Structure 1
Amino acid sequence: MRGLVYVYLLTYLGAALSLFCPLIGLFIYIHYAILKPESLWYWSVGARGPGRYSFIVGVGMLVGWGIRGLGDWRLGRSTIVVAMLLAFVTWVAVGYFFAQEPILVRNFVVSLLKIVLPFLVGITLMEKKEHVRWLAWVIVITQGYLALDFNRSYYQGVNRIVLEAYGGFDNNCIAAAMVVGSLLAFFLGLAETRWSLKVIAFAASALMVHTIMFSFSRGGILGLIAGGIAAFILIPKSFKTTAISILAVILALRLAGPEVRQRFMTTFVDPEQRDRSARSRVEQWGACLRSIRENPFLGVGANHWPLRSQQMGLPRMHAHSLWLETAAEMGVPGLLLLSGFYGLTIYRLRKLVKECHNLDLWSQYMARGVIASLVGFAVAVSFISVVWLEIPYYTVLLGAALLRVHTEEWEHRFEPNTINIPEHMTKYASL
C-alpha cells in the first residue's frame, strides 16, 4: 500500500510542479522508466492495471517545457550527439514507407519517442552542473533501489530476474541495465566528497554487481568485465583509487559464486558443447549477416526481425545482439547513427577530460563514469537484444549535459589561467 501512496503522490504532485519546473517532471519520468512501479509493487500499483503514471508526469513535463519556450537549443559540444539521435529517429521513420508491416515500424517510432522527447527536454533545460548532479543521483538511487529489491527477493528464495519478465525485460536486459548503473554508481562514489554519499553510491554499485551475478547473464558479465577494464584505465592512478579498484574487483569475484562462474565459462567451450541458448545466438547472428547483405541500406524495417527470423526458418525471436539486429532492421545507416550516438558521446567526453585542464573534479569523474558505463553497455548488448532499455539513453543524456555545461571551459582550454583582481585594487595594478 505504501508503494501505491508513493506513486500517487509523486505522480500528481510531480505533474503539477512540472508546469513550473519541467526538470522535476523529467527526473520523475526517468525514475519511473527505470523503476517500473507497476512491476515493482505488483500487488498494489500493478494490481490496478496500467495507471499511466509516466504519461501523466510526461504531459506535465512537456507542457512545462512548452511554457519555457522549449528550452535553450544552444547545445554547445553536445549538438552532434543530439543530432545523431534525431537522425536515427528520422531514419527509422523513413522505413515506415518501405516495411512489410508498417504498423510495426509505427509502434517502434512511438515507443522511441517516449525516450527521445524526455531526452530533448533534459538537454535543452540542464544548464548547470547541479542539474547534471541531480540526474546522476536519480539514475543511481533508482537503479540501486531496484537492485536492493532484487537482492531481497533472491535471499528469500525467489529470483525474480530469472523467473519472470520484470517490466517486460528478461534477465539479460536487466543485467545490461545493471552494468550501466553499477559503473555509474562507482564513479559517482569517487566523485562525491561527503562520506555519506560515497557509502550510498558504493553500496548501490555493489548491489547492482551482485544482481548481475545472479541474473546468470553471460552478456551481462562480459559487459561488466569490459566496463571494469575501461574504468581501471580511466581512473587517475593514486593509492586511494587503486585500492578502491582492487577492493571492487575482489568483491565482484566474491559475489560470483560457483554456479555463475560455471555458466560464464560455457561462453568459451567448443561449438559441439554449446547449450541451446548459445547455439541459438550463433544461428541468429548468421541470419542477421545474411539479411544485412540482402538489404544493406534500409534493412527489413524496425521491429521486424522476429518476423524476418521466422521467414528464414528460425524461431520467431530477437537476434541476441543489439548491433546486428539494428543493422538488419534499419540497414547499415541505422547502425552507424545509433552507434554514433553512443560513440561520439564517449569520444567527446574523453577529449573533455583529457584536454580541458580547468574541469572540476566531480565532472571529471562523472565523464569517466559515463564512458565506462557505455563501454560496458556496448559489450553487453553485443550478446543481448535490448529493445526498450531506457537507462543507456539517459546515461548518454548525463554525458551530453556534461558536454553542454562545460562548453565554455572547452572553448577556453588553451588559455592561460588568469588572476582576478578585485575592483577596488585595480588602481594599484597599474603602478
Structure 2
Amino acid sequence: MKGLIFVYGSLAFICLGAIVRPWIGVVGYFGFAILNPVYLWGHSLPPNSNFQKYIVGATFIGLLLSGFKGNKIQGAPAWAIISLVLYLVWAWVTAQSTIHEGDTVAYMTNIWKIVFMSCIGALLIDAPKKVLTLMWVLVIAQGWNAWEINLQYFQNGWSYAARSGWGGFDNNGYSIATAPAMGISLSLAFYSVKLWARLLAGFIFVLQMHEIMLLESRGTMIGALVLAAVGVLYVHKNSWTTSTIITATVLGIALAGPSVVDEFKSSFKEGEELDSSADSRFKLWKAGVDIMKDYPILGVGPNASRRLVPQYYEGGLRSNNKALHNLFFDISCGSGIPGLLLYAGYFSVIWLAVRKYWKFNKSSMEPWAKASIFSVLCGLPGYMVASMFSSAALIEGSYILVIVGASALLINKNKMPIDHLATQRPLLHAQAPS
C-alpha cells in the first residue's frame, strides 16, 4: 500500500507540475525511468503499468502552454539534437524493411519517447537549479536501487540481481544503467557546495561501485575503471578531491575481494583460458561485423539483428534469437552505418563541446557548472565502454548526461560565448584562481 501511495502520489505531482512547469515533467520522466517503480512495487501496482505516457502527455501540454520557452538552442547542443532527431527519422525509414516487425515495433515504441524527452530536456532545463535537480533525482533514484541490491546481498549472502537481473534488465544491462549515474554521483561528491551533499553523493557512489561488483559484469567493471581514470585526469586537484580519490580507491580495493578480481581478470585471458561467456562476446562481435558488412546502409531493422545472429555466429546457435550485446553493433546492424553515425553524433558532439569548455573555463566556473560538466566528461566515456558489452539504447541514464551537458553549455553561453573561447583565453586565465 505504501508503494501504491508513493507511486501514484508522485505521478500526480509530476503530471500536474509538468502542465504548469514542463521542466518538472522532464525530471519526473527520467526519474521514473531510472527508479522503475513498477519493478520495485509491482505487487502493489496493476500489471503493465505505463506511467511514462502520462508524464510525456502532461509535459507536452505544458510545453504548448508555455510557448516553448527555455534555452536558446544553438551551437553544439543544436547539432546534437539534430543528430538525434535525424537518427529517429532514419530508424523509422529502416524500420519499413525490417526482417522482424515485432522486435522493431517494440524498439520504436520506446525510442521515440526517449528522443522527444531528451530534445525538450535541453530546452527546458534552463537554470542551474534545474540542472542540479535533474542530477540529484537521477543519483537518488539509482542510489535507491543500489541500496536495495546491496541490502539484499548482505541479508542473504548472495546477489539476486546477479542471477536474475534488476528492473527488467539482466545483470549486464543494469550495470550499464548504473554507469551514467556513477559519473553524476562522483561529480556531486567532488563539486557540491554543502558538505552533507558531498558525503551523500560519495556514499551513493560507493554503493554503486559495490553494486557493479555484485552484478559481476566485467564490461561495466572496465567501463567504471575508464570513468575513474578520466575523472582523475580532469578533476581539480585539491585536498578534497585528492582525499576523495584515495578513499574511493581504498574502498574499491577493499570491496572487490578475490572473486571480483578473478572475474575481472578473466576478461583478458586468451586462447583456451578464455571462458565461454567472454568467448561468446567475441563471436557475437564478429557476427555484428559480418551483418553490418552485408547490410551497410539500411541494416535489417531496428532491434531486429538478433534474428540474424544465429546464422552469422561462428559454430551456430540453437536459439533463433540472440542479441549482439554491443550498442554500436545493435545500432549499425539495425539501421545501417548512417544510423550509427547519427546516433553516435548525439553523444560525441556534446562530449567534445564540454571537454573544450572545461579546458578553457575550468577555474572560473561556478560549482554547479563544474559538477554538471565534469559528470559528462567522465560519465559518457565510462558508459560507452560499458556499452560495448551489452546494448543500452533504451537506457535513459546516458541521455540524461547529454541533457545535463547541453543545458550547462547553453546556460553558460549567455555569460561567455563558447564560439569565442580562443580570443578570450588570456582573460580566462586571469580570472579565478585554480
* Residue in structure 2 matched with residue 269 of structure 1 by the alignment: 269
* Residue in structure 2 matched with residue 92 of structure 1 by the alignment: 91
Q: In the alignment, is residue 323 of structure 1 matched against residue 331 of structure 2?
A: no
* Residue in structure 1 matched with residue 390 of structure 2 by the alignment: 384
Q: In the alignment, is residue 61 of structure 1 matched against residue 65 of structure 2?
A: no
Q: Distance in 2 between matches of 1:354 and 1:410?
A: 14
Q: Distance in 2 between matches of 1:221 and 1:97?
A: 37
* Residue in structure 2 matched with residue 366 of structure 1 by the alignment: 372
Q: Distance in 2 between matches of 1:67 and 1:138?
A: 25
Q: Which runs of 5+ in 1 are unaligned?
A: 418-431
Q: Distance in 2 between matches of 1:216 and 1:100?
A: 33
Distance 1:120 1:247, change over 3 A: same
Q: Distance in 1 between matches of 2:34 and 2:195?
A: 26
1:328-367, aligned counterparts within 5 Å?
328-356=333-361, 358-367=364-373
Per the TM alignment, residue 5 of structure 1 is displaced from its structure 2 partner at its CA by 0.8
Q: Distance in 1 between matches of 2:87 and 2:19?
A: 29
Q: Distance in 1 between matches of 2:102 and 2:5?
A: 37
Question: Once structures 1 and 2 are overlaid, which stretch shifts more, 374-383 or 292-301?
Answer: 292-301
Per the TM alignment, residue 102 of structure 1 is displaced from its structure 2 partner at its CA by 4.1
Is the 8 Å Cα contact of residues 34 and 391 (structure 1) preserved in structure 2? yes
* Residue in structure 2 matched with residue 134 of structure 1 by the alignment: 133
* Residue in structure 2 matched with residue 427 of structure 1 by the alignment: none
Per the TM alignment, residue 166 of structure 1 is displaced from its structure 2 partner at its CA by 2.3
Q: In the alignment, is residue 195 of structure 1 matched against residue 200 of structure 2?
A: no
TM-score by length of 2: 0.91
Per the TM alignment, residue 278 of structure 1 is displaced from its structure 2 partner at its CA by 1.3
1:197-346, aligned counterparts within 5 Å?
197-312=197-312, 313-314=316-317, 315=319, 316-346=321-351
Secondary structure of the structure 2 residue equivalent to 1:257:
helix
Is the 8 Å Cα contact of residues 190 and 371 (structure 2) preserved in structure 1? yes
Is the 8 Å Cα contact of residues 358 and 409 (structure 1) preserved in structure 2? no
Question: Once structures 1 and 2 are overlaid, which stretch shifts more, 131-140 or 177-186?
Answer: 177-186
* Residue in structure 1 matched with residue 404 of structure 2 by the alignment: 398
Q: Distance in 2 between matches of 1:149 and 1:283?
A: 34
Question: Once structures 1 and 2 are overlaid, which stretch shifts more, 236-245 or 223-232?
Answer: 236-245
Per the TM alignment, residue 103 of structure 1 is displaced from its structure 2 partner at its CA by 4.7
1:71-86, aligned counterparts within 5 Å?
71-72=69-70, 74-77=72-75, 78-86=77-85
Question: Once structures 1 and 2 are overlaid, which stretch shifts more, 98-107 or 160-169?
Answer: 98-107
1:140-189 per-position Cα deviation (integer Å, ceiling 9, x unaligned): 11111111111111111152312323232110111112222122101112
Q: Distance in 2 between matches of 1:123 and 1:194?
A: 26
TM-score by length of 1: 0.91
* Residue in structure 2 matched with residue 409 of structure 1 by the alignment: 415
Is the 8 Å Cα contact of residues 281 and 320 (structure 1) preserved in structure 2? yes
Q: Distance in 2 between matches of 1:168 and 1:361?
A: 36
Letter in 1 for 2:12: Y
Q: Distance in 2 between matches of 1:159 and 1:323?
A: 29
Q: Distance in 2 between matches of 1:235 and 1:171?
A: 30
Is the 8 Å Cα contact of residues 178 and 209 (structure 1) preserved in structure 2? no
Which runs of at least 4 in structure 1 moved beyond 6 Å after TM superposition?
none
Secondary structure of the structure 1 residue equivalent to 2:72:
coil
Is the 8 Å Cα contact of residues 183 and 379 (structure 2) preserved in structure 1? yes
Q: Distance in 2 between matches of 1:165 and 1:189?
A: 28
Per the TM alignment, residue 358 of structure 1 is displaced from its structure 2 partner at its CA by 4.2
Q: Distance in 1 between matches of 2:191 and 2:34?
A: 23
Q: Distance in 2 between matches of 1:116 and 1:401?
A: 16
Distance 1:237 1:173, change over 3 A: same
Secondary structure of the structure 2 residue equivalent to 1:203:
helix
Per the TM alignment, residue 236 of structure 1 is displaced from its structure 2 partner at its CA by 1.7
Is the 8 Å Cα contact of residues 359 and 409 (structure 1) preserved in structure 2? no
Is the 8 Å Cα contact of residues 7 and 37 (structure 2) preserved in structure 1? yes
1:6-17, aligned counterparts within 5 Å?
6-17=6-17
Secondary structure of the structure 1 residue equivalent to 2:237:
coil
Is the 8 Å Cα contact of residues 70 and 125 (structure 2) preserved in structure 1? no
Task: Report the number of matched residues.
Answer: 415
Q: Which runs of 5+ in 2 are unaligned?
A: 429-434
Per the TM alignment, residue 353 of structure 1 is displaced from its structure 2 partner at its CA by 1.2
Letter in 2 for 1:292: M
Letter in 1 for 2:92: A
Is the 8 Å Cα contact of residues 235 and 241 (structure 2) preserved in structure 1? yes
Is the 8 Å Cα contact of residues 167 and 174 (structure 2) preserved in structure 1? no
- Structure ranking higher on relative contact order (CA contacts 8 Å, 6+ apart): 2
> RMSD between aligned alpha carbons?
1.8
Q: Distance in 1 between matches of 2:336 and 2:255?
A: 40
Per the TM alignment, residue 228 of structure 1 is displaced from its structure 2 partner at its CA by 0.5
1:25-36, aligned counterparts within 5 Å?
25-36=25-36
Q: Distance in 1 between matches of 2:187 and 2:13?
A: 32
Q: Distance in 2 between matches of 1:408 and 1:150?
A: 43
